[in-house]
Structure 1
Amino acid sequence: MRARRKFLRVFPGGFRDETYVDWERNYKWEAHRRWEASLGKSVFERLIKERRFEEIAAAATRIESRTNLLFSFEKMALRDAVKSPAGARAFALALFDFLHGGDTMEARFSRWVEAVAQLPRRKTRVLTWPLVTVFSFIAQPGTHFFLKPTVTREAARRYGVELPYASRPSWPLYKDLLAFVGRVRSDISDMRPRDMIDMQSFLWVQGSDEYPD
């Protein structure tokens, strides 16, 4: 109830509030629409078959760059990691497998984490929770959650949940995160959250300094 009150104090119209849509939802949904146009499954698959890995990496980073989801140092680390043909190839193949592969989500997420860990690194590490979760969140907001650890863990704490955490991304921790988000979504189902964009925004309001109590 505290979480509801805080969210509705900021956005009285809930997830349909005009200010909410303007501040929190629109730019994330627009990123998803750009992804569908540039890297939807059929387009992504064709580019893979044509071995246009650098084009895939460039499109993905360009779409993300128009959001404020990653920190500037993460954006720079990603650009450096996919600059080489080998880095772009590894990134593109692993991301397609994660989004569209036939294995369990556990297997696909674990392979994605390992692939990101192996990407070329110039200065800043590439393997962060935000970087590992941002593209699936943009591509498949009906399924995947974007994790900013500090804010999300603070939101969970205020919700009465201690999320297990380690700085290295892993499936068990991502599974726990999805379970927590699913619990919150069930609790606020009458507010009609549409997808993980609404859920990420709801929890962001709870834990971010941008929205003080």
Structure 2
Amino acid sequence: MQLRREVLPRPARSVSRRTRSKAAAAKKRGVLSREALRARRKFLRVFPGGFRDGDYLDLERGYKWNAHRRWEEALGESAFEGLIKKKKFEQIAAAAIRIESRTNLLFSFEKMALRDAVRSPAGAKAFALALFDLLHGADPVEVRFGNWVEAIARLPRRKTRVLTWPLVTVFGFIAQPNTHFFLKPTVTREAAWRYGVELPYASRPSWPLYKDLLAFVRRVRSDIGDLRPRDMIDMQSFLWVQGSDEYPD
């Protein structure tokens, strides 16, 4: 199976004058809100080259894209389907966990909870089948996402709960970064608040709340379209810069 590759340009030092003039023109037209302009300025202050900045590629995008590439190699649709047909459910679960473990996306307690939940053959089977359906099923995405949430909720657990927003959204984000967004609730809600948006939230994941999140992300992506974000990796990173203590104002 051919591995999908991403060709990145050489690290940029700064966003072009043309890009900045576009933002200025948009401001004059009243297209962008004050909060949107503030978010743009903060991101470009941290990464002057925008989404092609060398530091951005090293600190934010690179390891997430590498996780996606490893997923495509081990659990791309045809490989995933083949493992399902052979009933290699434990192999699927182990591969998914191994790929995610090389990122810092989940908290350690979430990583451990998932390992415990798929340790049994029944847990691994439930996880693998529901994950394949989420990514490649024929039903509308709202049905597939809802079924995925319920499957995670039913996984066996010992002490720590498995049903968290990060755990529910991380594998879709890694596998299909053009479609799925990874939600860290505290940081993302802080980023939304700074953007002038109050994201509806409940600790239990659900499609209606995920749908609202995706709508917000689409709005932000439209606002920064001239910066040419490639996918949800860039969008998650942009919002992370807005809401995380790692990037103070």
Match of 2:100 in 1: 64
Whole-angstrom CA distance in 1 between matches of 2:218 and 2:119: 36
Whole-angstrom CA distance in 2 between matches of 1:198 and 1:65: 20
Whole-angstrom CA distance in 1 between matches of 2:129 and 2:197: 36
Match of 1:100 in 2: 136
Match of 1:148 in 2: 184
Structure 1 counterpart of 2:171, from 100, 114, 135: 135
For normalisation by structure 1, the TM-score amounts to 1.00
Q: Does the residue aligned with 2:200 lie in a helix, a strand or coil?
A: coil
1:186 aligns with 2:222: yes
Deviation at 1:84, TM superposition (A): 0.5
Question: What is the letter of the counterpart of residue 139 of structure 2?
Answer: D
Match of 1:79 in 2: 115
Whole-angstrom CA distance in 2 between matches of 1:19 and 1:168: 35
Aligned length: 213
Structure 1 counterpart of 2:54, from 6, 9, 18: 18
Q: Does the residue aligned with 1:114 lie in a helix, a strand or coil?
A: helix
Match of 2:41 in 1: 5
1:209 aligns with 2:242: no
Whole-angstrom CA distance in 2 between matches of 1:143 and 1:110: 16
Match of 2:25 in 1: none
Q: Does the residue aligned with 2:188 lie in a helix, a strand or coil?
A: helix
Superposed CA deviations along residues 25-82 of structure 1, whole A, max 9, x for unmatched, are: 0000000000000000000000000000000000000000000000000000000000
Deviation at 1:131, TM superposition (A): 0.1
Whole-angstrom CA distance in 2 between matches of 1:9 and 1:19: 12
Match of 1:169 in 2: 205
Larger radius of gyration: 2
Whole-angstrom CA distance in 2 between matches of 1:191 and 1:124: 40
Question: What is the letter of the counterpart of residue 78 of structure 2?
Answer: S
Deviation at 1:164, TM superposition (A): 0.0
In structure 1, the gaps of 5 or more residues are: none
For normalisation by structure 2, the TM-score amounts to 0.85
Q: Does the residue aligned with 1:173 lie in a helix, a strand or coil?
A: helix
Whole-angstrom CA distance in 1 between matches of 2:211 and 2:116: 29
Supply the RMSD in Å over aligned alpha carbons.
0.2
